[in-house]
């Protein structure tokens, strides 16, 4: 077990060394969150009225969900790049725990997700966002996001393993993750969406995570009035979605990795 932990720590450190050599790799969890927060709060905020509070209070949880979901594409791109560059082949010649490549990648992405969360929250405070709950509840809200982000990283690991190159991984990730992020309650209430789209949005895991965070932050949550089970029990629903993603996609990623790296 100790040897496996060492292998994971070494490969996680390797990923951060690469980031240190090319800091722009972090632009999707540093620059993008700031831009998205400023643009959506000041552009959407001018035209959307949210019952019970300001648009900034409503939007920050959604912007956390949006940024964490879209930045998860980096998992697919990074893993696909390692497979294409021959790095994985060199690692296979070493006496390391084989899944450590995937676990190290997922931990790296969890830490960058925490960085993204800090940038969104910090920018949110600057534009007027204020949580109205206890410190423990606010921390739980951030934890819900990070758990979901970790589950989503394993989904993206599978995308990277089935893609032939980083460009394909990025394209496939965008096709899947952008609709997931935007067809939700992240940026606007779902009440006025067409019936079919509204149903999809109310059962979207991104909507559950966003609604859970709004409840835990004590921010306006119009979705609480919607009679759909995930919107009535958002914390439970978001945890269940995260666990389902981990249970389904972590073993699948391991299987795909073995198949992709077997001679």
What tens-digit pLDDT sequence spans the chain (263 residues)?
677 788 788 888 877 777 777 777 778 788 989 999 998 888 877 777 777 778 889 999 999 999 999 988 888 888 888 888 777 777 777 777 777 888 888 898 999 999 999 999 999 999 999 999 999 999 999 999 999 999 999 999 999 999 888 889 889 888 999 999 999 999 988 888 899 999 999 999 999 999 999 999 999 999 999 999 999 999 999 999 999 999 999 999 999 988 888 75
Q: Which residues contact 153 (CB under 8 A, 6 or more apart)?
A: 72, 75, 105, 106, 109, 110, 113
Residue 50 in any domain: the answer is yes
Angle at 201 between CA 196 and CA 207, to 5 degrees: 170
Cα gap 250→229, rounded to integer Å: 26
Number of domains composing the chain: 1
Residue 53 in any domain: the answer is yes
Residue 98 in any domain: the answer is no
Residue 99 in any domain: the answer is no
pLDDT at 14: 79
pLDDT at 35: 92
Q: Which domain holds residue 77?
A: 26-83+107-260
Q: Are 176 and 183 in contact (CB under 8 A)?
A: no
Element (H, E) at 161: helix 135-162
Residue 13 in any domain: the answer is no
What's the DSSP call for residue 164?
S
| Burial (CB count <10 Å: 0-12, 13-18, 19+), residue 113 | buried
Residue 194 in any domain: the answer is yes
Residue 3 in any domain: the answer is no
Residue 101 in any domain: the answer is no
Tokens matching residue 78: 């990074």
């Amino acid at each position: 077990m100790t040897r496996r932990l060492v292998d994971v720590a070494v490969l996680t450190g390797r990923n951060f060394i690469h980031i240190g050599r090319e800091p722009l790799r972090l632009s999707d969890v540093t620059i993008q969150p700031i831009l998205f927060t400023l643009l959506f709060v000041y552009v959407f905020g001018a035209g959307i009225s949210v019952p019970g509070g300001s648009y900034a209070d409503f939007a920050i949880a959604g912007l956390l969900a949006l940024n964490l979901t879209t930045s998860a594409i980096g998992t697919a791109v990074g893993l696909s790049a390692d497979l294409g560059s021959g790095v994985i082949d060199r690692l296979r010649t070493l006496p390391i725990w084989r899944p450590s490549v995937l676990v190290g990648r997922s931990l790296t992405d969890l830490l960058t997700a925490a960085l993204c969360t800090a940038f969104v929250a910090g920018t949110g405070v600057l534009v007027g966002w204020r949580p109205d709950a206890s410190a423990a509840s606010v921390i739980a809200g951030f934890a819900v996001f990070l758990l979901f982000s970790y589950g989503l990283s394993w989904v993206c690991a599978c995308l990277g393993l089935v893609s032939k190159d980083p460009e394909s991984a990025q394209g496939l990730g965008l096709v899947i993750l952008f609709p997931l992020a935007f067809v939700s309650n992240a940026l606007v209430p779902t009440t006025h969406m067409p019936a079919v789209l509204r149903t999809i949005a109310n059962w979207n895991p991104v909507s559950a995570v966003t609604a859970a965070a709004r409840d835990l932050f004590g921010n306006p949550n119009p979705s609480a009035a919607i009679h759909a089970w995930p919107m009535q029990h958002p914390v439970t629903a978001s945890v269940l979605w995260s666990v389902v993603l981990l249970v389904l996609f972590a073993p699948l990623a391991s299987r795909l990795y073995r198949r992709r790296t077997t001679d």
